[in-house]
Amino acid sequence: MKKNVYHLLHPATLIILNFLMATAFLVLGVTFSQADEGHGGRLNLVTAIELVAKQNIPAVVHIEVTERKDVDNPFLPFEKDPFFRRYFNLPKKMPKKFKQEIVGLGSGVIIDTQGHILTNNHLVAGANKIQVVMANGQSLSGTSVTLVGTDAKTDLAVIQIPVTDSLPHVTFGDSDRAEVGQWVVAIGHPRGLDQTVTHGIISAKHRRGITDPSSYQDFLQTDAAINPGNSGGPLLNLYGEVIGINTAIASESGGSEGIGFAIPSNMAVHVSKELIARGKVERGWVGVSIQDLTPELPQKLGLTSSKGVYIAGVFQDSPADRAGLKKGDVIIAYQGKDIPDAGTFRNDVATALIGQEVKISVLREGKKQDFLVQVGSQEEQKRILSASLKERFGITVRRPTTKEIDKYSLESDQGVVIVEVAPKSPFVKTGFTIGDLILQVDDEWIDDPEELAAVLGALPSRDKVSILAIDHKSGKTGYLSMVLP
Nearest of 378, 374, 376, 287 to residue 326 by alpha carbon: 287
Of the candidates 120, 129, 142, the one whose C-alpha atom is nearest the C-alpha of residue 101 is 129
Q: Is 39 a catalytic residue?
A: no
Catalytic, out of 62, 107, 116, 122 = 122
Tell me if 349 sits within 8 A of 338, measured CB to CB: no
Point out the catalytic residue in the list 151, 155, 329, 413: 155
CA-wise closest residue to 212 among 153, 157, 271: 153
Interstrand relation of 139-140 and 146-151 (parallel, antiparallel or unpaired): unpaired
What is d(CA 181, CA 37) in angstroms, rounded to the nearest whole number?
Answer: 16
Bridge-partner residues for 417, per DSSP? 398, 437
Based on the residue annotation, tell me whether 122 is a catalytic residue of this protein.
yes
107, 175, 203, 231: the active-site residue:
231
- Using CA atoms, how far apart are residues 462 and 483, in angstroms rounded to an integer? 6
The four Cα atoms 150, 153, 156, 157 give a dihedral, to 10 degrees, of 0
Pairing of the two strands 367-374 and 288-292: unpaired
Q: Please list the residues that pair with 413 across neighbouring strands.
A: none
Contact between 395 and 404 (Cβ < 8 Å): no
CB 242 within 8 A of CB 109: yes
- Tell me the residue type at 152: A
* Annotated catalytic residue 10: no
For the chain, the residue count is 485
Query: Identity (one letter) of the amino acid at 51?
Result: L
For the annotated catalytic residues, the residue numbers are 122, 155, 231
